[in-house]
Amino acid sequence: MTNTENHTVIIGAGHNGLICAAYLAKAGKKVTVLEAGEQVGGAAITREFAPDFKVSAAAHLVFLLDKHVRKELSLDSSGLSFSQRNMKTTALAADGHHLTIAGSSLQGLNISDKDRVAMKEYLRFMGKFAGVVNRLNNRIPPRVGTHNRSDWIGLAKTALNVRLLGKKDMREFLRIAGINIYDVLQENFENPLLKGALSMDGVLGTNLGPRSNNSVFCALQRLSGLQGMATPKGGMGAVSATLADVASRHGATIRTSAEVSQILLDGDHVSGIELADGEQIAASTVISSADPKTTFFELLGARNLEAGFARRVQNIRMRGNVAKLHLALDGIPEFKGLDQERLADRILIAPDIEYVERAFNQSKYGDYSIKPVAEITIPSLKDDSLAPTGQHVLSAIVQYAPYQLKAGWDSEKDVFTEKLIDLISEYAPDIRSQILHKELLTPVDIEREFRITGGHWHHGELAIDQSLMLRPVPRAAQYASPVDGLYLCGAGSHPGGGVMGSAGRNAARAVLGAKDSEDGNA
């Protein structure tokens, strides 16, 4: 091992790993990022899934990217650009009378005035509440039960945030934050398409149905970016490439095809890492952007943890229930009743809220949805770098597809793929004849390709009991782990997943401030 006293190793070049690296390098640290895959980006990558067809392999929309990260790392002047911004959402109806949501304005047939008014009010209070969540997201969560001054201030600030909503809104916030989105939407809206579409905010990427607790919380997390949805030019990989550029420019070293197999210890302190090929790299600080189970069990080893902590890690809920469908299309698909412009926006198959809940039902018992829900984008309509001229790629997040499928994904993957194409065909009847290539990533594939335990995109269910000072688990929720010198910076930490980057930024701040804190991690 080389002698590198103040060397920081970051495991994984996902967006959080890269952001953390950029901040630390900027602060003058000697940083090496080690990525197991052939390209940087983790689950924020663009890759070829068929010859000449490229797609954002996991996440495909940007809407949460931390504005501090964007500003502090000057992403916009570093080459990050978008092919689409402020995307509208169209909820497909079987009869072709779709509903389009553009901000608070609703377009479509049979939309009542009541719904139009309710929509404005809904966005007002949800936006306001999401602001509370947003302010919590870019802070290191305070700890409870300590005598540390900064913890008390953090807790007081959290309470103050909520109190500043005003009496009426605070009461409403406290009423709905923990409940389910089904109830909230039923209270406010009439139109089934609208309720279906809005319910997706609460369940996309999660293991929840609209009637599950925490679905309002997830919707607030989703809205907390307080920005419109966008697709990066060149796909999600462009975000990661920009981040890697920025990190490199600040002096970080990034190595791909460097799979970390073990975190090395010297007594109570990390001493470095070992790569799968046996190479050892010394480091005084190791920061993992891998999910907490991978970090603590696979890389560190549960036996190097205290048992109560290991139990908490084991109990993190992180079973993926989401699949990703990629289609290479020979031509522009034709959706009944959908014009070209809206086709390039965000399209949902979630025709009503009961439909969404029913889709979730089967997954509870280990089956995939008979009638799945989907979030579809066709990014190649506005970005010609993704497919040959005249041809297109369709990228769809589809649920529900449980990680632990009763029948097993080996035999069911092709069946489910066909089911999904059938589903889309209900709205775009000729699409099957246009398909040149197809790819489905089940949670098992996602686990393998992106090295995420359980294939859960958020590295752990987004839920109140797995948030803030409880994410991923107490004693690791301030990014420092119980092992000296080992930190977390991935989506498994506060505030969670989505291409947000706050976890990476917060972790860097925790690492930089670690010496100032009054009593380390209690």
Q: Which residues bind another protein (CB under 8 A)?
A: 145, 265, 267-268, 293-294, 297-298, 301-311, 314, 447, 451-454, 475, 482
Cα–Cα separations (whole angstroms), residue 354 to 47, 66, 179, 192, 286: 35, 33, 17, 9, 46
- 72-75 long-range contacts (CB < 8 A, ≥24 apart) are 72/23, 72/505, 73/19, 73/22, 73/23, 73/26, 73/243, 73/246, 74/246, 75/242, 75/243, 75/246
| Residues 426 and 98: beta-carbon distance below 8 Å | no
Q: Which residue has the tokens 């969540």?
A: 133
Closest to another protein by CB, 268 vs 339, is: 268
Closest to another protein by CB, 219 vs 299, is: 299
Closest to another protein by CB, 220 vs 322, is: 322
Least Å distance between CB 477 and another protein?
15
Question: 212: Cβ–Cβ under 8 A, 6 or more apart, which residues?
Answer: 180, 203, 360
The secondary structure element, H or E, covering residue 341 is: helix 340-343
Q: What angle do CA 518, 519, 522 make, to 5 degrees?
A: 140
Least Å distance between CB 303 and another protein?
5
- Whether the ω angle into residue 400 lies within 30 degrees of 0, i.e. cis, is yes
Give the phi and the psi of residue 14 in degrees, each rounded to 5: -75, 180
Least Å distance between CB 492 and another protein?
13
Closest to another protein by CB, 51 vs 145, is: 145
Least Å distance between CB 232 and another protein?
28
DSSP 8-state assignment for residue 296: I
Residue 173 CA to residue 133 CA, distance in Å, equals 11
- The secondary structure of 7-72, three-state, reads EEEEECCEHHHHHHHHHHHHCCCEEEEECCCCCCECCCCEEEEECCEEEECCCCCECCCCHHHHHH
Closest to another protein by CB, 257 vs 314, is: 314
Closest to another protein by CB, 312 vs 494, is: 312
Q: Which residue has the tokens 């309470």?
A: 159
Closest to another protein by CB, 311 vs 364, is: 311
Cα–Cα separations (whole angstroms), residue 337 to 86, 334, 343, 425, 428: 22, 9, 10, 13, 9
Closest to another protein by CB, 333 vs 455, is: 455
| Residues 289 and 11: beta-carbon distance below 8 Å | yes
Least Å distance between CB 20 and another protein?
21
- The secondary structure of 391-402, three-state, reads CEEEEEEEECCC
Least Å distance between CB 37 and another protein?
14
Least Å distance between CB 270 and another protein?
13
Closest to another protein by CB, 261 vs 361, is: 261
Least Å distance between CB 442 and another protein?
15
Closest to another protein by CB, 297 vs 457, is: 297
Give the phi and the psi of residue 272 in degrees, each rounded to 5: 150, -160
Least Å distance between CB 263 and another protein?
13
Residue 46 CA to residue 278 CA, distance in Å, equals 29
Least Å distance between CB 495 and another protein?
23
